[in-house]
A and B are shown apart, each in its own frame.
Chain A
C-alpha cells in the first residue's frame, strides 16, 4: 500500500482527534465546524480572518501559527490544548488586559464579553504584567451608543463590519505600536457626528465592552448572561441577549 492510500487527504489531526476539512478552510474553521473549541478573539466566523490577536495560536506540524489564518492541510498534526500553548495564550490575554483598562465588575459587557470569558476558559488568575493604565476618554456623543475605548483590544471587527457589511467606514485604526487606537470617521472624532446606527452590523460585533448600547444597562442580570450560562468553550458565539 502506498502512503496515499493510508492517509485521508481531507482530514488533519487536532490534539489526537480527526478533523475533516474542505479546501480553503483554515484550521479554526474546520475545528469549529467539528465542534472543537480553539480560543480566539479577533476571529469571527462571519468575517474574513484578521490574524492579529494571536490568541488562536496553535502548533501546526511543529511550527506555531495563528489557526484562524493558517490553512488546514491534509495530515497536518495540530496541537492546541497543551500546557505550553495555553500558557502562551494566557500571556497574550494578560497583555490585552494590561494594555487597556478593564474593570469587569462595572462593565456592562461582563458575562457577554469574549475577553473575560476566554480568560476564564484559560484560567487566567491575574494580569501578571504591570498595567499601562492608558488615558482613553469615553465618547458619549451618540444618542444611542457609548464608546468606551478603555476596553478596546484592537481586533478591528467593528472596522471590518462597518466597511464590509454596512458600507459606512465609521471606524478605523490610527497611530501605531502601543499607541494604536480606534478612531471614528468624523472631523470632530465623535460618534455622534457619524451615520452610525443601531441597525449597523458594527453595533453588534465588538467582542468586548467598547460599543455599548445606552439605556439598556443590566437588563439581564449578571449571572444569567451568555457566558454565565455556557462557558465560551462550549458556545463560542451565542446570540448575546441584551448585549
Chain B
C-alpha cells in the first residue's frame, strides 16, 4: 500500500508531524495512534513502518510489550480493574464480576458485539480511594455497586466518555499530614532565582550538604549523582524525572504531579542548569494519562513566565525545556535504564550496567534520572539551603518522606513525616487498629509484623519509596503475598531467564499452595528459587520478586501451615480434580468415577 492510499494517514500524519517523525518517539506515536482508533491497526503499522523506516516486527515488538497498547480490536470501551491487594480488600473482583454479568461479557474477552473488553491490571495508584478502574485509560475511583451499575448503563448506551458524570473522574488528593514539602507555599521561580543568585556550582554544593537521597527507592545521594553527571563527557546532557510510580501501593507522586508540579519542574530545571542539560523529560505512567493536560498547561505557563525555554529568568545561555512522555502500562519502566529504553521508543528492557545513566543514559548521553519527590525536595534545598534541610530527619536520612498510606485504616492518603518516624506512629496517625502487618515500599519492599512496629522509616532501618499498606488481623497474609507474586509475574519484562521463568514458577507454586496441595518440599523449592532469582536476575524486579513470600513465610507461617494438607510432596497436577470435570459432564459420581476422595470433601 502506498503512502497516499493508506486510510490511516489522516490521523497518523498529524501525530507524525508533531514529533517530526522521530523514531525515538515511537511509543508516543503508538499511544496517540491508539487514542484515535482504540487499537493499533495492522494497516497503521504498515504506514508507520514506511514513514519511520522501521521494521514492522520492531513496531509490533514495542507495542506488544506495553499492557495498555493493543494490536487487535479491544472493544469501544476497555475497562481495566486495578488489582492491587488493596483493591482486592475493597472487593474489586466482585465488582468486576458484577459488571461482567450485567453486560454479558467474560473477563479477558472482547464482547461479541465489539462493545467492550474487561480485565484486571496492576495497581493504578489509587489505593487511597479504591476500588479503582481505568476506562479507555482514564481513571475512575471509589467504585461501589451503584457506580458499577451506572457505568454499565453508560456503556450499554454507548455514551462517549467526555459525557460521563464528571464526579466519576474526580480524584482526591487526600493529604493527611503536611511537613516542609507539602506545607511550603512555594512560589514558582523562587528556587531558580535563588540558584542564579548563589551560582550553579554553589547550589550543587548545597544539594550535597543537604544529604538529600533519592526518593524512588534506592536512596542514592542526589548531589553525587548530579556531580557525576555534570563531570561526564557528552554532546548533550539530559534530565529525566521518573513519574512511573508503578510500585503497588504508591501514589504520592500522583498528588505531587497534581498539586506540586511547579516544585518538581523547578527541581528538574535546577538540575538542568547544574549538569548543563538543555532538555528534560517527564516520564509519566500511562495510568496517569488524566494528568497530562494539566501538566502540559503548567509547562506552558512556566514558559510564559520565563522559567523554561531560552535565557531562563533573563540569564543568558540558561536554556532548558521539558517534554512529557507517557508510559503505557509497564512497571519495569520505573527502573531507570528500562525507562530510558522506553523514552527512546523501545521495549522497556533494563540495560546492562555499568555503564550507568549518569554517563550513558538517553541516546547514550549523560543523564540524571530522579524521582518526582527528589526533584521537588531539591527545589526546597535550593531555596532554603542544604544545612537547613540536613537538620531535618535523621543523621543518615535527611529531610522528610511522603508516605502513601492505604489498606486497613480510617484515613488513607498522603502522610509527610520527617525520616525516623516509627511504623507505630504512622499507624496511630492514620487510624489503623488491630494491625497485623504493614507492607512498606510495596511488594519489592518489606513486610513488617506487629512486633517490629517500633522500627523506623529511613535508609538506616526501613527504606521506602513511599508505599505503606496496612493489613489488620482479619487479613490473610498468604493471599497478600500471592497477589504480589502475581504482580511480579505479570510485570517481568522477560529479558532474563531467572525472572521470566522464575516469577511464573513462583506464581504457580503459590497457586498450588492456595489449592491446598502444599508440602514442606514446596517451601524448600521457594527458598531455592529465591536464592536463584536474587543472585542471577538482571535487575531489581527479579531480585526482589521472592521477598513477599519469604517475608510472610518467616513472619506469618500459620497462614501457610493452614494450607499444607500434605507432609509429603504432591504434584501440582491433580488428576482427580481433572476428573471432576468429566464427572460433571457425564453426571457420574459413583466410586468408579473417582481416583480418590476429593480433598475438599475429606
> Chain B's nearest CB lies how many Å from the CB of A169?
4
For A57, give the chain B residue with the smallest CB separation: B536
Contacting pair A91 B532 (CB below 8 A): yes
Q: Is the CB of B504 within 8 A of A178?
A: yes
For B536, list chain A residues within 8 Å (CB).
54, 57, 64, 88, 92
* A51 contacts chain B at the CB level, 8 A cutoff: yes
- Additional 10 contacts, C-beta under 8 A, given A88-B535, A172-B55: A49-B352, A55-B497, A88-B531, A92-B497, A95-B497, A95-B498, A96-B501, A130-B505, A172-B61, A178-B504
Tell which of B11-19, B163-171, B450-458, B486-494 binds the partner.
B486-494
Tell me, yes or no, whether A8 is within 8 Å of chain B by CB: no
* Chain B nearest CB, measured from A161 CB (Å): 14
Q: Give chain A nearest CB distance to B58 CB in angstroms.
A: 5
Q: What's the A-B contact tally at a CB cutoff of 8 Å?
A: 118
Among A161-188, those with CB < 8 Å from B are 169-180, 183-187
Q: How far is the CA of A176 from the CA of B494 in the complex (A)?
A: 5
User: Assuming the A-B contacts A91-B528, A130-B572, A187-B56, are A177 and B492 also in contact, with contact meaning beta carbons closer than 8 angstroms in the complex?
Assistant: yes
| CB of B277 to closest CB in A, whole Å | 28
The residue among B57, B352, B496 with the most chain A CB atoms within 10 A of its own CB is B57
Least CB separation from A129: chain B residue? B505
* Contact A130:B538 (CB < 8 A) given known A184-B57, A187-B42: no
Closest to A184 in B: B57
A113 to B495, CA, bound (A): 21
Give residues in A with beta carbon < 8 Å to B.
49, 51-55, 57, 64, 66, 69, 88, 91-92, 95-96, 98-99, 129-130, 132, 153-154, 169-180, 183-187
Across-interface contacts of A154 in B (CB, < 8 A): 494, 500
Given A54-B536, A129-B505, A130-B572; A185-B56 close (CB under 8 Å): yes
> Least Cβ distance of A92 to chain B in Å?
5
Closest chain B residue to A132, Cβ basis:
B504
B223 contacts the other chain (CB 8 A): no
Given A51-B352, A129-B505, A169-B58: A176 and B64 interface contact (C-beta under 8 Å): yes
Cβ-defined contact, A53 with B497, below 8 A: yes
A132 CA to B330 CA in the complex, in Å? 23
Does more than half of chain B's interface fall in helix, strand or loop, or is it mixed?
A: helix
- B556 contacts chain A at the CB level, 8 A cutoff: no
Given contacts A64-B535, A64-B536, A185-B56, contact A176 B65 (CB under 8 A): yes
Smallest Cβ-Cβ distance to B354: which chain A residue? A71
Look across to chain B and name the residue whose beta carbon is closest to the beta carbon of A93.
Answer: B497
Q: Are B502 and A95 in contact (CB under 8 A)?
A: yes
Query: Hey, which chain A residues are within 8 Å of B57, CB to CB?
Result: 169-172, 174, 183-186
- Bound CA–CA A132/B55 (angstroms): 31
| Residue pair A69, B352 in contact (C-beta under 8 Å) | yes
Please determine whether A95 and B505 come into contact, CB atoms closer than 8 angstroms.
yes
Point out the residues of chain A lying under 8 angstroms from B495, CB to CB: 52, 180
Query: 1/0 per position for B535-553, CB-CB distance to A under 8 A?
Result: 1111000000000000000
A172 B58 Cβ-Cβ under 8 A: yes
A-B contacts, 17 listed (Cβ < 8 Å): A51-B352, A51-B538, A52-B496, A54-B497, A88-B531, A88-B535, A91-B532, A92-B497, A129-B505, A169-B57, A174-B60, A175-B65, A176-B332, A176-B494, A177-B504, A183-B60, A187-B56
Question: Which of A99, A171, A173 gathers most chain B CB within 10 Å?
Answer: A173
